Amino acid sequence: MTIFNDRRRVLQGSLAAVASLSLAPAVFAKATTATQRPLTTRLTDRLAVIGGVGANVVVLTGADGLLLVDSGAAEHAAALRGQLQQLAGTLPVRTLINTHWHAQQTGSNEAFGKAGAQVIAQAKTAQRLSTDQYQPAQDRYVKALPKPAQPGRRFHLQDRLDVAGETLELGYLLEAHTDGDCFVHFRSANVIAVGDAASPERDPILDWYGGGWLGGRIDGLSQLIARGNEATRYVPAQGPVVGRTELQAEQALLETVFARMTEFVRKGYSAQDILAAGVLNGLPRTLNDPQTFVESVFKGFWAHHNTLSPDVV
């Protein structure tokens, strides 16, 4: 049962959650900017993760070429190529799957597409990459990617590939981060690439203008947790590979925030009022930028106000 369809499970604990706001003061870590360095970590003899290229890139090596999950940021394209060469020599990229449409995941799409790679994505991501996108933070439009960079194969709910002896299952994560997120499950390796649909260490990013919201995030985490087991390794867009325990911890934290936010929205509080009232107090994890997080949650809530509670209008 998902939060998107039924909120009673969360709302039953909302009053208790709000009552606990004053139990501990909020402590937020200041944002740090670390210089990214490319680093390849092997998960199996054929599966690896390349970090430090704008976003984690998962690489499956086959006899005649490579499959990538995401292509990093454009400014790290040379570093990504260098890591791929060290990992697999001159093997070409045959297949590229985008977990969603943000620039950190699509920076080398054009180069690989021009070289003959098949680009695959969820239908919403494919649509967004093929049209100009308005960015409210910059008050400007970002041009659609060139044709070779756009996904030529798209799916709606699920897809399946058999590559290099590995079965890959792809699934839609509705509104977990954007409106076009997907996971890529490497069945034999028991590894799931999740993009920005999970963020065990960094602030969860909810692209409210791009269709993401907190309810979708929690439902997406439920989907990912149910798909895995105690031995599953999850590869987020940022940070190290984690296990199911880390995803469960993130989900529990966000469910607490959801319940508290619902109470404040019902009372008509603004985002600033909600932050000042202590919506993030006493959580087991600190946030680098609590204001941005609360504002994005707030905007997403009003886009989905009719699903929160019968008396939120």
pLDDT digits (tens, 9 = 90+) for 96-129: 999 999 999 999 999 999 999 999 999 999 999 9
* Helix (H) or strand (E) run with residue 264 in it: helix 244-266
Homologous superfamily of the 35-252 domain (CATH): Ribonuclease Z/Hydroxyacylglutathione hydrolase-like (3.60.15.10)
Percent of the chain with pLDDT over 70: 86
Confidence (pLDDT) at 1 = 40
Residue with tokens 């995401």: 70
Using a 10 angstrom Cβ sphere, with 0-12 exposed, 13-18 middle and 19 or more buried, the burial of residue 63 is exposed
- Return the closest-CA partner of residue 204 out of 265, 125, 287, 282: 287
Q: With bands split at pLDDT 50, 70 and 90, how would you rate the model's confidence at 309? A: low
pLDDT digits (tens, 9 = 90+) for 267-300: 999 999 999 999 999 999 999 999 999 999 999 9
How far apart, in whole angstroms, are the C-alpha atoms of residue 122 and residue 181?
Answer: 7
DSSP per residue, 33-62: -PPP--EEEESSSSEEEEESSSS-EEEEE-
pLDDT surpasses 70 at 32:
no
Average pLDDT score over the chain: 89
Q: What is the 3-state secondary structure (H, E, C) of 63-87?
A: CCCEEEECCCCHHHHHHHHHHHHHH
How far apart, in whole angstroms, are the C-alpha atoms of residue 161 and residue 286?
Answer: 38
Mean pLDDT of 36-53: 95
Confidence (pLDDT) at 36 = 73
Decide: pTM greater than 0.85: yes
pLDDT digits (tens, 9 = 90+) for 172-201: 999 999 999 999 999 999 999 999 999 988
Please state the length of the chain: 313
